Amino acid sequence: MRFLIQSFIFCLMATAGAFAQDKPEVLVLEVRDAIDPSMNRYVDLGLKKASEMEADYIVIHMDTYGGAVIDAKDIVENLLNTDIPVWVFIDKDAASAGALISIACDSIYMTPGASIGAATVVTADGAAAPDKYQSYMRSTMRSVAEEKGRDPRVAEAMVDENIAIEGITEEGEVITFSTLEALEYGFCEGKVESIDEIMQKNGVPDYEITVFELGATESIIAFFLNPVISGILILLIMGGIWFELQTPGIGFPLAVAVLAAILYFTPYYLNGLAENWEIIAFFIGIILLLLEIFVIPGFGVAGILGIIFMGGSLILVMLNNDLFDFSFVGFGAIVKAVLAALLGVLGAAILLFIGGVRLTESRAFSRVALTDTMSRNDGYTSSFYTSMTGKRGKTQTVLRPSGRILIDGEIYDAYTRGDYIGAGEEVEVISEEGTSLKVRKVES
């Protein structure tokens, strides 16, 4: 008898535990800011998380005035492709791109006093965008509304002020529905005060809610997207490349530049700001600069183009432009990007002219480079077996201002008075300085 009672209690506990574990999982995505590449990535990661945790429902907690149409379209496509029911809870506003995302959800719920609509595409300064953008938004709103069983004509009228619908809107104004109007015309399934009320309306009284938050990795990515940090990384990129060119073979400056470039481009790429062509342009700039320094004598077209490609790339990756179309990029964003790049380059210049001197005098530098001098006062002497003054030869390498020359089949270290002399030029020795020869170019 006692055994039967214990077995019965055990079964009850197991059954209760099974019920506790079978609570429906609800993942909440907080879309309460501008629709931009960062929000696009947030929603994308949130939908993947919902799939991984096998969530039963997704609720988008929305309050936004809109944002980038391209990012909104990406979010919509991801929502339409998910098999999990998606409900949107409009806490206050779902304007423009927010309206498009809301219509893409399976059900729309709104608080009293909320609104949805006003989806006309505007530029960064608030003016209506050209008709090609309006047409794109109209067709997208129409197709998404049709997919979700809502009136496509009404969805279009949220974009185009020229559409008149009898009893709903007149020509000259775009549709913005209040909660009651949205309920009346089929763009809202219920007026609610909270997510809990949404669950109750759908017959889900007992559930587990998880609010999706970005992990530590995403926080680090957001940190590197700060314009100040971007400026510091540009400083390290430019300074590292310059130091490596001045002291080839050390490797450390180049390693710093490569690491800084990875930390600079990766966050912008992951957030959808940096396009492949913008990153490729940066490396094309480096190649052009290397060609100018090591292959092409002088400083001309290749060097200037290299600087333009590199600088332009570093600025463009910060801006959400569509192949040089800056219609939806605010003037403030452009100013921030340009200032970050200029401050980075300026910092690199200061690092080169001031920090470079201190670096060569530091203990750390003396450990990897020979810094001791062997002066005549200490008993050291150096000289050539015969006087080289007046002899002529040809530069074996570019003199910038130092390099190597060839005289009578022998190679010597040489330098100029500050002039730039290309490879293969005829030069004349004007003095001997230790083991180096001071030369000048022979004018033909």
**Confidence (pLDDT) at 327:** 61
| Within-domain flag for 225 | yes
Same domain for 221 and 201? no
Same domain for 297 and 188? no
| Within-domain flag for 4 | no
SS (H, E, C) the chain: CHHHHHHHHHHHHHHHHHHHHCCCEEEEEEECCCECHHHHHHHHHHHHHHHHCCCCEEEEEEEECCECHHHHHHHHHHHHHCCCCEEEEEEEEEECHHHHHHHCCCEEEECCCCEEECCCCECCCCCECCHHHHHHHHHHHHHHHHHCCCCHHHHHHCCCCCCCECCCECCCCCCEEEHHHHHHCCCCCEECCCHHHHHHHCCCCCCEEEECCCCHHHHHHHHHCCHHHHHHHHHHHHHHHHHHHHCCCCCHHHHHHHHHHHHHHHHHHHCCCCCHHHHHHHHHHHHHHHHHHHCCCCCCHHHHHHHHHHHHHHHHCCCCCCCCCCCCCCHHHHHHHHHHHHHHHHHHHHHHHHHHHHHHHCHHHHHHCCCCCCCHHHCCCCCCCCCCCCCEEEECCCECCEEEEEECCEEEEEECCCCCECCCCEEEEEEEECCEEEEEECCC
Same domain for 346 and 200? no
Domain boundary pick from 168, 186, 211? 211
Same domain for 62 and 27? yes
Q: Give the pLDDT of the chain (444 residues) as one tens digit per residue.
A: 554 455 555 555 545 444 445 789 999 999 998 888 888 889 999 999 999 999 999 999 999 998 888 889 999 999 999 999 999 999 999 999 999 999 999 999 999 999 999 988 876 666 777 777 788 889 999 999 999 999 999 999 999 888 999 889 888 889 999 999 999 999 999 999 999 999 999 999 889 999 999 887 777 777 777 777 877 888 888 877 777 666 555 567 778 888 888 888 888 887 767 778 888 888 888 888 777 766 766 556 777 888 788 888 888 887 766 666 666 566 666 777 777 777 776 766 666 555 555 555 555 555 545 455 555 455 444 556 678 888 999 998 888 778 889 988 888 888 888 778 888 889 999 888 777 889 999 887
pTM comes to: 0.64
Residues in the chain: 444
Residue 421's CATH number: 2.40.50.140
Domain limits at 55? 22-211
Same domain for 361 and 386? no
Same domain for 380 and 326? no
Rounded to whole angstroms, what are the CA distances from 193 to 108, 188, 200, 203, 361?
A: 13, 14, 12, 16, 68
**Confidence (pLDDT) at 20:** 45
Contact indicator for 412, 388 with CB cutoff of 8 Å: yes
Number of domains in the chain: 3
Same domain for 197 and 56? yes
Same domain for 352 and 284? yes
| Within-domain flag for 257 | yes
**Confidence (pLDDT) at 18:** 44
| Within-domain flag for 150 | yes
Same domain for 196 and 233? no
| Within-domain flag for 16 | no
Same domain for 59 and 28? yes
Same domain for 407 and 358? no
| Within-domain flag for 17 | no
What letter represents residue 54's amino acid?
A: E
Domain boundary pick from 173, 194, 211? 211
Domain boundary pick from 193, 211, 229? 211
**Confidence (pLDDT) at 64:** 94
Q: How far apart are CA 429 and CA 444, in angstroms?
A: 16
